[in-house]
Amino acid sequence: MKIPFVNFILDFLFPKEALTKKLESMSPELFLRKAKKSNRKQSVTPLPLYEYRDTLVKRAIWEIKYKKNLKIAKLLGQVLAETLIEEFQDRSLFEGMSTLLLIPIPLSKKRLQERGYNQSELVCKEIESSAGNTFITYRPDILYKTRETPSQTTLKHRGERLKNIAGSFIVKNHELIKNKTIVVFDDVITTGATMAEAIRVLKAAGARKIIPFAIAH
């Protein structure tokens, strides 16, 4: 049975909500106009941040994270690719850099087996695809999570989250990141503890510059 036909049956049995349908048919330009940007400050500041409490943004992330909605993953990939390119041109970060490595925050092996996919990887693939033959290279084979940790959302304070995630990431293929500029991608950032640990490990492995990147805060 072909997947599109399966999706047709599922849509018939369980009709999608209007907001999901709206997102699936939305252009990147319209999403950029409708999605609310976040102005909140934090210790780790990614590029760019949308407001997670915004209904549109929250539904988009939920659809990717829990329903593997590839249409919406493609939409966000297009939006984020365009933003990355513009941001780097504005900041003149191309100097001395031939390739920008795009690395997703990994899931543990257990969590990956349970869910069947990593939502951050889905979006990263679309970012690379949407950017075309430019400077972005998606590398999911560098940062790994070596142990299962309790969900960060279950911990209230940043100190608890830092302790929870500490020592859970390792870097493979060190030679690929030495003196490179890296964008580390996660779908949502709350306190920034997970992102901070990923940055720490990548810096220790020899990365020249690391830029955190997320859909929402």
Q: Encode pLDDT of 171-203 as tens digits.
A: 998 999 999 989 999 999 888 889 999 999 999
Instruction: Compute the distance between CA of residue 134 and CA of residue 73 in angstroms, rounded to an integer.
Output: 20
Q: Contact at 8 Å (CB) between 131 and 81?
A: yes
Q: 37-52+81-216: which CATH topology? A: Rossmann fold (3.40.50)
Tens digit of pLDDT for each residue in 78-97? 999 988 887 777 655 555 55
Residue 182 three-state SS: strand
Digit-coded pLDDT (tens) for 93-150? 555 556 789 999 999 999 899 999 999 999 999 999 998 866 789 999 999 999 877 6
Within a 10 A sphere around the Cβ of 82, how many other Cβ atoms? 16
Mean pLDDT, the chain, rounded, equals: 84
Residues 196, 204: contact at Cβ < 8 Å?
no
Quick one: 120 exposed, middle or buried, by C-beta within 10 A (0-12, 13-18, 19+)?
A: buried
CA separation for the pair 204, 201 (Å, rounded): 5
The separation between the first and the last C-alpha atoms of the chain, rounded to the nearest angstrom, is 39
CA distance 216 to 202: 22
Q: Are 40 and 207 in contact (CB under 8 A)?
A: no
Residues facing residue 103 across a β-bridge: 184
How many angstroms separate the CA atoms of 83 and 70, rounded? 20
59 token code pair: 């539904």
Cβ atoms of residues 182 and 202 within 8 Å: yes
